[in-house]
Amino acid sequence: MIDAAPVFEYTISARYGGVTVLDQIQGSLRSGEIVSLVGLSGSGKTTLSMSLLQLLQYRGGTVSGSIRLHGRELFGLPAGELRNVRGKEIGYVPQSPTAALNPRLRIQTLLDETWGAHATGKPPAGFYEELLGSVSLPADAEFRRKYASSLSVGQGQRLLIALGILHKPAVLLADEPTSALDVITQSQILKLLSELARRSNMAMLFISHDLQAVASFSSRVEILHRGRVVETGAPAEIFRNPVHPFTQELVRSLPRGF
Ligand SMILES: Nc1ncnc2c1ncn2[C@@H]1O[C@H](COP(=O)(O)OP(=O)(O)OP(=O)(O)O)[C@@H](O)[C@H]1O
Ligand SMILES: [Mg+2]
pTM of the model: 0.93
Give 236's contacts (C-beta < 8 A, 6+ positions apart).
none
Structure-model confidence comparison of residues 100 and 171, the more confident one: 171
Residue 157 pLDDT > 70: yes
Choosing among 2.140.10.30, 3.40.50.300, 3.40.50.1240, 3.40.1400.10, the CATH entry for 8-252 is 3.40.50.300
Instruction: Looking at the CA of residue 60, tell me the nearest atom of ligand 1.
Output: 1
Instruction: Looking at the CA of residue 59, tell me the nearest atom of ligand 1.
Output: 1
User: What's the CA gap between 38 and 206, in Å, rounded?
Assistant: 8
- Structural domain boundaries of the chain? 8-252
Residue nearest to atom 1 of ligand 1 (CA): 59
Residue 86 pLDDT > 80: yes
Q: Are strands 220-225 and 203-208 parallel, antiparallel or unpaired?
A: unpaired
Mean pLDDT of 45-63: 96
Q: What is the pLDDT of residue 129?
A: 96
Average pLDDT along the chain = 92
Q: Is 209 in the pocket of ligand 1 (CB under 6 A)?
A: yes
101-136 per-position pLDDT tens digit: 999 999 999 999 999 999 999 999 999 999 999 999
Residue nearest to atom 16 of ligand 1 (CA): 44
CB 187 within 8 A of CB 161: no
241-256 per-position pLDDT tens digit: 999 999 999 999 988 6
